[in-house]
Chain A
Amino acid sequence: MTTREGDDNLPEKAPVPDPGLPDHTWRPTDVDEAAERRAERQIATLFGLSALCAVLFVVSYVTLDIGEVTTTFGGLGASNLALGLSLAGSLLFLGIGIIHWARKLMADHEIVEMRHPARSSDEDRTETVAALNLGIHESGIGRRPLVRNSLLGALGLLALPVPVVLLRDLGPLPGDSLEKTIWAEGMRVVRDVTGTPIRPAELQVGDLVNAEPAALFETDDEGEPLIEGVQLQVEKSKGAVIVVRIEPEEITPGEGREDWGVDGILCYSKICTHVGCPISLYERTTHHVLCPCHQSTFDLADAARVVFGPAARPLPQLALAVDSEGYLVAQADFDEPVGPSYWERDSRCASTPARWRRATPPPRPRRRSRVPPVPLPPGPTTGWAWPRRARSSCARSSPTTGRSCSVRSRCGASSSCCSPAPS
């Protein structure tokens, strides 16, 4: 074992001998009276400027307005600028002055101190170890297993369960609250902020409406909102939706979701399935929606399957219908939990709602499927084309796992999971 111990800087090994500390040389301020006086004046000036800036600080505080009428200076808020610069000046001049003093005028000699080894001396070590051992021996903890084990048990119970249990009331248990939202059958879809309900005819192809459930805008007889404050935020964090209108020919509805749209008007949850940021970066031409947080991209014309990014599941879709007055309403609550995944989120067939189940597994879709182009009115076309970007994902979501099919996953392959609906 050649671990090295102890001091290693032996003179015979060093190729160049230590020339020793260099001789001390004086600074101009040490040898020249005029330079010394000049340095003193410089330092005093710096401290004087610092004092001046402090005074300016007080003056700015008192004279410059903020609030209803904000004094401005060059397009910037004057109070912040003046207070900040004067404070900065006061501090910087002070600091520079002190350091200038240290560099120019304070005593300039370097000193040498010997180090001591960090390791305690052998004597100290043996003494300490001996004392420790004696104490342990005399306590008898080694010889009395009953005492020791009962102590450990008592400490363990005190240290772990007691504090943990005290924290139980930090919050309620999740229950099934993550699986439900405020959406219900017949609830109108209303525009966010204004709260007005939506008629299908009002929307054009390419429109994107940021919408909420109507319950969030209901008021009581006195005009006070029924849901407000924290409750409102909680419901918004699950119930916010986006409504888009797409050309019906371009839509490939999810399995069993053919009647979930109204004339090409589709409604999806606004909450990203990755970690829950709201999404509304809608690219009208590709009908992709992008999440600004981590760039998960979903194809809204294709049951919101994931086309890029770290999200693993498509956006939940809200089934739409039209009520008797012609306004858009929900057919029911979402058929799966909204928002980020969590451990208990069950996506097996047996607990998946009926809409998702199929009697027979679907045929394996072609790997490269494309939405067929809109038929053109007759007219000239060019004889050349832009290079086509091939889509490399299935056009569907897996009915067994509910997640989007990437090139690597196999759609409908795990048919053993899918059993016919018992009802």
Chain B
Amino acid sequence: MLGEIALWSFVVLLLTGTFLTLWFRPSMAEVVYMGSYDQFRGLHMSEAYASSLDISFDVRGGLLMRQMHHWSAMLFIAAMMVHMMRVYFTGAFRKPRELNWVIGALLLLLGTLEGFTGYSLPDDLLSGTGVRAADGFLKSQPVVGTYMSFFLFGGEFPGDSIIPRLYTVHVLLIPGVLLALIAAHMLLLVYHKHTQWPGPGRTEQNVVGYPLLPVYAAKAGGFFFIVFGVTAAMGALLAINPVWKYGPYDPSKVTAGSQPDWYMGWPDGALRIMPGWESNLGPFTLSWNVLLPIIVLPVLMFTIVLLLPFIEAWITGDKRDHHLLQRPRNAPTRTAIFVALMTFYGLMWAAGGNDILATQLHLSINQITYFMRAAVFVGPVIAFFITRRWCISLQRSDNEKLLHGYETGIIMRSTEGGYAERHLPISESRAFALTSRDPDEPYSSDRGTDDNGVVARGSRIARVRAGLSSKWYENDVAAPTRAELEEGHHHAEHEHELQAGLDHPADGHQFDGHHTVEEGPLRDDH
């Protein structure tokens, strides 16, 4: 469903975007504005900006379409992120779906670039400042930086080519690749069939659900209209990117609170908290302060995200197909890793808005920056450990339920005066769902030295792998075995029987399935 939000947002983007292309002029030629926005009447500005003003003020429905386009772009990327988080936390990226994960990561990256090129098209002050920063990023590249900058902009910044070129990328190149990748993503989904939660009747070999026609088609189709409708409501009520307030781009003007759109916020945050390091190698300058946060870090993060399924498969040595989802608590290390990555992302994101944080929360931007410099390293580590322990506690609580039943809220007082709460066993379908988990089997290698004392090749790596694997599953709480469950039930029953001193089932155990219900009331009569 979360992926559907992304899918339908993409359709909304195509529809609203096509509308906009009918009026937008992707040209940086200078024109004199004579439209109906009085505050700029007579000003010189680029055609791109003038046509954006025309769409906003002189085309009925134009402002609505512009706003819907921008809102659905934000929803598209947000939905992809939420979908990615869901897929990761439930283990749906495992074999055979690794390729689908890779496609999804590429979709996220392309969506982000598409958004950046898109909001830069109106050539307003805010997005132009972003383009200026992008030029700075390009220039900082070693060896080829200035060439890349001059080739992209058709000369010195700002030149007259960047908007038309971004337009081509935004309207043709990236949407083409996006469409192809989305088609591949959907195709793989149909081929592999959707994953499902464990539950009664659901196994690794089957898939249980409503038929595609009519129910799922109706739900998905209806959801398309809902996504479209919510976007329209946001476009009606919430003003986004009011380009007329920013004014046309001018390299000597800037506004306070200059941020990129939210999905570019985290590299911006990295850029803000980076100390000002620069090296001079003879006649050359290497700008670490720009290279590291805006080139190295995003590439690194993207690569990590791309490789997550393969890293996990390598560590766990798990080569089986998985079609049943895992609850996040049942994979504590995986969940903790992603929460750590999310913490890193979130702190960088917050750092990107440090001036807004400062004004809204009455803080000092300097202090926020210093805090973030430390927090982005310390925070993820703390988050990792807390999440891991939390998952393990939740696993223990699940096992408690399995072994001792759920708490009924009925408190009984024994003859000695002590209080105890009655527990009832959970239903069989719930018990099945909770125990329908693969047992954890850490990778262990039987490579080593052979009889002649020759160390096998690759055994160092295999040992590292085995070590990581055992750390991966460390402290995980396995589901109880059948024997343990039986023992737990008997034990519980036995305890109650002892306490009650009766020969009929103890209170609360009438419906265990071991006795008929006529044998006793649910509650004692006194």
* Residues A4 and B319 in contact in the complex (CB < 8 Å), given A310-B272, A343-B142: yes
Check B201 for interface membership: any CB of A closer than 8 A: yes
Query: For window 30-52 of chain B, which residues contact chain A by CB distance below 8 Å?
Result: 30, 35-36, 44
Q: Is the CB of A310 within 8 A of B289?
A: yes
Residues on A with C-beta less than 8 A from B141 are 343
CA distance A384 to B339 in the complex (A): 50
Minimum Cβ distance to chain A for residue B282 (Å): 7
Contact of A91 among B211, B218, B229 (CB under 8 A): B229
Residues on B with C-beta less than 8 A from A113 are 193, 206-207
CA distance A75 to B239 in the complex (A): 13
Query: For window 217-235 of chain A, which residues contact chain B by CB distance below 8 Å?
Result: 228-230, 233-234
Q: Is the CB of A119 within 8 A of B232?
A: no
> How many residues in B have their beta carbons less than 8 Å from beta carbons of A?
136
Q: Is the CB of A4 within 8 A of B318?
A: yes
Chain A at the B interface: mostly helix, strand, loop or mixed? loop
Interface string of A112-143 (1 = CB under 8 A from B): 11110111000000000000000000000000
Contact of A1 among B268, B355, B445 (CB under 8 A): B445
CA distance A66 to B57 in the complex (A): 6
Check B418 for interface membership: any CB of A closer than 8 A: no
Check A357 for interface membership: any CB of B closer than 8 A: no
Q: Is the CB of A192 within 8 A of B215?
A: no
Check B413 for interface membership: any CB of A closer than 8 A: no
Q: Is the CB of B151 within 8 A of A110?
A: no
Q: Which of B191, B249, B284, B439: most chain A Cβ within 10 A?
A: B284
Check A293 for interface membership: any CB of B closer than 8 A: yes
Q: Is the CB of B205 within 8 A of A346?
A: no
> How many residues in A have their beta carbons less than 8 Å from beta carbons of B?
117
* Residues A96 and B226 in contact in the complex (CB < 8 Å), given A101-B218, A341-B287, A344-B146: yes
Minimum Cβ distance to chain B for residue A76 (Å): 8
Q: Is the CB of A6 within 8 A of B208?
A: no
Q: Is the CB of B252 within 8 A of A340?
A: no
Query: For window 72-99 of chain A, which residues contact chain B by CB distance below 8 Å?
Result: 77, 79-85, 87-99
Query: For window 1-20 of chain A, which residues contact chain B by CB distance below 8 Å?
Result: 1-9, 13-20
Interface stretch among A170-178, A199-207, A317-325, A375-383? Answer: A170-178
Closest residue to B366 on the A side, CB-wise? A308
Closest residue to B250 on the A side, CB-wise? A236
Residues on B with C-beta less than 8 A from A89 are 229
CA distance A101 to B225 in the complex (A): 14
Check B275 for interface membership: any CB of A closer than 8 A: yes
CA distance A147 to B233 in the complex (A): 64
Check B120 for interface membership: any CB of A closer than 8 A: no
Q: Is the CB of A292 within 8 A of B225?
A: no
Check A31 for interface membership: any CB of B closer than 8 A: no
Check A252 for interface membership: any CB of B closer than 8 A: no
Interface stretch among A151-159, A270-278, A363-371? Answer: A270-278
Check B312 for interface membership: any CB of A closer than 8 A: no
CA distance A68 to B446 in the complex (A): 81
Q: Is the CB of A346 within 8 A of B204?
A: no
* Residues A14 and B150 in contact in the complex (CB < 8 Å), given A2-B443, A83-B60, A347-B280: no
CA distance A342 to B284 in the complex (A): 8
Q: Is the CB of A292 within 8 A of B257?
A: yes
Q: Is the CB of B278 within 8 A of A115?
A: no
Contact of A171 among B136, B161, B320 (CB under 8 A): B161
Minimum Cβ distance to chain B for residue A208 (Å): 14
Q: Is the CB of B230 within 8 A of A88?
A: yes
Check B221 for interface membership: any CB of A closer than 8 A: yes
Pairs of residues from A and B, 3 with the lowest C-beta to C-beta distance, nearest first: A84-B236, A275-B136, A95-B225
A-B contact pairs, 13 of them (CB 8 A): A5-B320, A18-B201, A19-B432, A94-B225, A110-B210, A171-B154, A173-B147, A234-B156, A237-B156, A276-B132, A340-B135, A344-B285, A348-B283
